[in-house]
Structure 1
Amino acid sequence: MTSTAAPDRPATQPRAPRRRALAERLLDTPLADALAGPHTVDHYLEILRPDWAVKRVRGEILDVRHQNEDSVTLTLRPTVTWPGFQAGQHVELSVDVDGVRHRRCYSPSGSADHRTRTVELTIRVHPQGVVSRHLKAHARRGMFVGLSLPRGEEFVLPTPRPRRVVLISGGSGITPVLSMLRTLTDEGHRGEIVFLHYVRGPRELLHADDLAAIEAAHDNVTVLRVATREAGELPTGWLSGRFGPEHLRRALPEDADAAAFVCGPGALVESVREAFREGGLTTPLRYEHFAPPELPEMDPDQLGTVTFAASDQQVEGDGRPLLEQAEAAGLRPEHGCRMGICMSCKCRLQHGQVRDTLTGEIHGTPGAEIRICVAAAVGDVTVEL
């Protein structure tokens, strides 16, 4: 006689996941938050198990890479509340520094393919950057950071994918377009992909080994590396100089069934946009400033008094973004990216007009919401701060 008890065991194993799913649904209710007051359920879960969450998203640091002296690359494993992202989007990372929670926006540099279970962030360290300097010095495996849901719907790959994709970046603007490159290759995209990246010199190239491996493994990928300031002899295959018609022809030899993306310093973005306009190209160009362009200084006659209504403070306008002027006055407005991307600094304009420091456009009507990180006062201005 043979026994049949053992083979039947696997049929009962899914009960634990079902019980866990039921518990998560019960915790993710207004009643659970009310009973947990004054904090939310996620607050207590973070204390018990940082990798548990029902609403908020957190990420556990699995790996820390220091590619050079002024960058740090983090590989994160998000909680189950993470919905995934599209290549080109950005997330807001939050971290506690000296007891104060700080938030900054970063674009993932890893693949957005649905099979990828991690999020990679490559962060450029700025001399005055509280978050970037903290992560460079203290990020370690097992550490948890907060994550927002992915944001940004404009600077993403189109669906369906075009036959030809051109990705242009400069400096730390590499992150969103590298994510696009990795996503396309992970998807098995067989169309032509050109990756054109500008750095001051070869030593500053981030993800050099990753780019070389992708280019070697995919015959439809061309990587064009350009040094803008290197005086010595360049490695084989490197180009030199700044973006112009010759580089554009190398990146986009045929203006048909294509899509182009550029992210980087304002000067690079404006050069690419101008080249597309002057060339009369029909290829759609999506762009994202990783740093604002250099605009002419404000005419002194355009400067006035800035009033922060809620704080009952006044300062003299000096042409800087309102966020910087508010901070100089001792205020601490909520903000994230400082580049006009994340929208976390939005504030209502009560009176006056502002200049968009990304485009130079002057606008404003009473009651309109403005992004104070990229809005400078024109004349007398009052904002709800």
Structure 2
Amino acid sequence: MSIRIPAFVGTIIESALSPHPVDRYLELVDPMTTWRDLRAQVIAVDRPTSRTVRLTLRPTRQWKGHTPGQYVQLSTVIDGVRHTRCFSPANTPADDIELTITAHDGGFVSSHLREHAHVGMVVGLEQAAGDFVLPDDRPRTAVFVSGGSGITPVLSMARTLVAEGHRGQIVFVHYARTPDDVAYRTELTELARADNVDVRLHYTRGPAGDHFTDDHLADVADIDDADLFVCGPAALMDAVANHHGSRGLRGRLHQEAFTLAAPLTVDPDAPVEGSLTFLRSGRSATNDGRTILDQAESAGLTPESGCRMGICFSCTAIKKSGCTRNVLTGETDTETDTQIQLCINAPVGDVEIEV
């Protein structure tokens, strides 16, 4: 359920109810009744393997959909603490969202969801994001390579091509520990029924230890010009990238990375200027070149964050105006009304942020 409140009415209500936003009161009545917050209700739960749980989510009206390959940030409350993790939808773009979550060793949130997710459960969401996507100019030949839980974004891409009636060759190569660890075995079998889809499964545990080698793609027709999509553990991604480079393949290589690159070295002599304005708190600070999270904390603010505990994407906020620089990649961003991570972005000149 959701309700529609005119923007000017919502602004008046929020001012009257300050310091808490409208949604903090609405959730007391129905957690799926929201004005600003994007949430989703679990409408189906399946546990296809001993280590996975598949959730079908029905989001509130704020959901803008996803491009095949993107991820969403899902948040859930465990013992009174909100935790956020990233998962990639495995379905074609649709109103509902399908996530298959693998409970990794030591995975606090994934293990909790594997054991306790149930129909009717409400979770928090952020809009889909990420650049590892199926390109608008669909590839004539598409080769998807995945390992473990990395299957979900590439399966979303493959399913989308099939749903669109794509007639080019589609090769889907998946690596799992054992046959029992293939969470999408039924769906892959169904995909393989199409004349132009070739599904290949390899198992990495046991005496055979069937890991990626060049031979696994050697017989793919038109491999030289194929678009190659890979998502999975670092060793698999490195092996596929080396294959692509050493063979001099002309097609595009698309990769999804699970880890951040090492931070760039920041020039200490580079000029730092401008001011950082925290709109919600009504405070401002002179930009000193550090990340927005560090500067916010120095200004006495406590934005939600879990970065120092290894919880990524929990410190996002909306940048209303200005330019920011990603301290990991060096890339700058000048878009307005966009979600950014406070812990890896620094102001470049004047910046306004909803904190």
SS of match in other structure, 2:54: strand
Name structure 1 gaps, 5 residues minimum: 1-19, 233-239, 296-331, 347-355, 364-368, 373-385
How do 1:184-199 residues align onto structure 2 when only pairs under 5 Å count? Answer: 184-199=161-176
Q: In the superposition, relative to structure 1, how do residues 211 and 51 fare at CA in structure 2: closer, same or farther (>3 Å)? A: same
- Provide Cα deviations, 1:133-164, integer angstroms capped at 9, x if missing partner: 22112111011000011111x20011121111
How do 1:369-380 residues align onto structure 2 when only pairs under 5 Å count? Answer: 371=344
State the partner residue of 1:151: 129
In the alignment, structure 1 residue 183 sits paired with structure 2 residue 151:
no
SS of match in other structure, 2:6: helix
Which of structures 1 and 2 has the bigger CA Rg? 1
CA distance, structure 1, for counterparts of residue 9 and residue 62 of structure 2: 11
SS of match in other structure, 2:98: strand
Distance apart, 1:290 and its partner CA: 3.7
1:205 to 164, 182, 204: 182
CA distance, structure 2, for counterparts of residue 100 and residue 61 of structure 1: 20
Aligned residues: 283
1:135 to 100, 106, 113: 113
Q: Is the 8 A contact 1:202 1:227 kept in 2?
A: yes
Q: Is the 8 A contact 2:306 2:314 kept in 1?
A: no
Q: In the superposition, relative to structure 1, how do residues 336 and 135 fare at CA in structure 2: closer, same or farther (>3 Å)? A: farther
Q: Is the 8 A contact 1:166 1:259 kept in 2?
A: yes
1:247 to 216, 234, 243: 216
Query: Match for 1:272: what amino acid?
Result: V
2:69 to 84, 88, 99: 88
Query: Match for 2:20: what amino acid?
Result: H
Query: Match for 1:223: what amino acid?
Result: V
State the partner residue of 2:97: 119
Q: Is the 8 A contact 1:261 1:285 kept in 2?
A: yes
State the partner residue of 1:280: 248
In the alignment, structure 1 residue 263 sits paired with structure 2 residue 231:
yes
Q: In the superposition, relative to structure 1, how do residues 178 and 31 fare at CA in structure 2: closer, same or farther (>3 Å)? A: same
Query: Match for 2:211: what amino acid?
Result: R
SS of match in other structure, 1:168: strand
Q: In the superposition, relative to structure 1, how do residues 345 and 54 fare at CA in structure 2: closer, same or farther (>3 Å)? A: closer
CA distance, structure 2, for counterparts of residue 337 and residue 177 of structure 1: 29
Q: Is the 8 A contact 1:27 1:41 kept in 2?
A: no
In the alignment, structure 1 residue 221 sits paired with structure 2 residue 197:
yes
SS of match in other structure, 1:255: helix
Distance apart, 1:74 and its partner CA: 0.5
CA distance, structure 1, for counterparts of residue 146 and residue 309 of structure 2: 18
Q: Is the 8 A contact 1:169 1:196 kept in 2?
A: yes
Q: In the superposition, relative to structure 1, how do residues 278 and 339 fare at CA in structure 2: closer, same or farther (>3 Å)? A: farther
Query: Match for 1:131: what amino acid?
Result: V
RMSD of the TM alignment (CA)? Answer: 3.1
Question: Bigger CA drift: 280-289 or 41-50?
Answer: 41-50
CA distance, structure 2, for counterparts of residue 27 and residue 94 of structure 1: 29
Q: Is the 8 A contact 1:26 1:32 kept in 2?
A: no
Q: In the superposition, relative to structure 1, how do residues 27 and 54 fare at CA in structure 2: closer, same or farther (>3 Å)? A: farther
CA distance, structure 2, for counterparts of residue 280 and residue 87 of structure 1: 27
Q: Is the 8 A contact 1:198 1:225 kept in 2?
A: yes
Query: Match for 1:55: what amino acid?
Result: R
Q: Is the 8 A contact 2:85 2:311 kept in 1?
A: no
SS of match in other structure, 2:89: coil
Q: In the superposition, relative to structure 1, how do residues 58 and 165 fare at CA in structure 2: closer, same or farther (>3 Å)? A: same
Distance apart, 1:344 and its partner CA: 4.3
CA distance, structure 2, for counterparts of residue 52 and residue 187 of structure 1: 34
Q: Is the 8 A contact 1:70 1:124 kept in 2?
A: yes
In the alignment, structure 1 residue 166 sits paired with structure 2 residue 135:
no
CA distance, structure 2, for counterparts of residue 65 and residue 334 of structure 1: 29
Q: In the superposition, relative to structure 1, how do residues 128 and 270 fare at CA in structure 2: closer, same or farther (>3 Å)? A: same
Distance apart, 1:204 and its partner CA: 1.1
- Provide Cα deviations, 1:193-220, integer angstroms capped at 9, x if missing partner: 111111122111111011111222x221
**Structure 1 length as normaliser, TM-score?**
0.66
Query: Match for 2:81: what amino acid?
Result: V
- Provide Cα deviations, 1:167-214, integer angstroms capped at 9, x if missing partner: 110111111111111122222222211111111221111110111112
1:56 to 17, 22, 37: 37
Query: Match for 1:180: what amino acid?
Result: M
Distance apart, 1:62 and its partner CA: 0.7
Q: Is the 8 A contact 2:141 2:222 kept in 1?
A: no
SS of match in other structure, 1:24: coil
SS of match in other structure, 1:272: helix
CA distance, structure 2, for counterparts of residue 40 and residue 343 of structure 1: 19
Q: Is the 8 A contact 2:150 2:232 kept in 1?
A: yes
State the partner residue of 1:310: none
